[in-house]
Amino acid sequence: MQTNLVQQFANTAEGQEAESILRACVHCGFCTATCPTYQELNDERDGPRGRIYLMKMFLEGEEVTEKSREHLDRCLTCRSCETTCPSGVKYGRLVDISRGLMEQEMPRPPKERWIRWSLARVIPNRRLFGLLLRMGQVFRPVLPAKLRTKVPPRKHASPWPAASHERIVLALAGCVQPSATPNTNGAAARVLDRLGITMVEAPEAGCCGAVNHHLSEHEKALEAMRRNIDAWWPAIEAGAE
């Protein structure tokens, strides 16, 4: 694909990386076969190929509207499209770069900014999210039906296996999982225990950074990743896998 990025982006490392990815695309359309939003909406702009053109327009300085951003927002960043791309286009990286730059160049309406700010502060905070979810579970019976279906019933974590094995593997508890699905890691620990592997969590580890990353707060996402690496490193040095 031929590109002509504006100087504003062409002189940056992210812009040059995006241009390299764009040039790899031959717009064959194989990616649409594995894109869930394209399969659901059957709109070219809600498929990888169409979104690549929208991102190209933005990086080349053409007018991009809120409607264009809506099509990018609908992308799940599942990267299924990459599995069928014969040219090896790094679509996931391209959409991350473009979304981040678009947030800087096209400020969202105040209401959207407030919602995104709230999500980025509440969800990665394990204690705050757990408290709010618990409140929702308490009042679940009286909530409107549409909202009630979105609140999972309260569950209690089952005990982990007590046995200790020579092989140890690290698991991430995360931010939402301990409150929403507290048995997930416990179930994995029981399976691994049967295989002679002990699974442990690092108490200091927290959110993986995905929420911030997908809301284009890339630096905060990197901070979360660094904190987790610091939390895991002593166990890794001690032999954990």
Query: What pLDDT score does 137 carry?
Result: 92
In the predicted structure, residue 63 carries a pLDDT above the cut 90: no
Separation of alpha carbons 165 and 197, rounded Å? 6
Query: What tokens appear for 95 in the block?
Result: 């959409």
Separation of alpha carbons 134 and 158, rounded Å? 18
Find the helix or strand (DSSP H, E) in which 17 lies: helix 13-24
**Mean pLDDT of the region 179-201:** 94
- In this prediction, residue 156 has a pLDDT band, given cuts at 50, 70 and 90, of confident
pLDDT digits (tens, 9 = 90+) for 138-155: 999 999 988 889 898 888
Residue bearing tokens 């764009």: 22
Beta carbons within 10 angstroms of residue 35's beta carbon: 23
**Mean pLDDT of the region 90-103:** 94
Q: What percent of the chain has pLDDT over 90?
A: 84
- In this prediction, residue 101 has a pLDDT band, given cuts at 50, 70 and 90, of very high
- In this prediction, residue 201 has a pLDDT band, given cuts at 50, 70 and 90, of very high
Whole-structure pTM value: 0.81
Domains of the chain by residue range: 7-105, 126-237
How far the first Cα of the chain sits from its last, in Å, is: 42
Query: What pLDDT score does 158 carry?
Result: 84
- In this prediction, residue 183 has a pLDDT band, given cuts at 50, 70 and 90, of very high
What architecture is domain 7-105? Answer: Orthogonal Bundle (1.10)
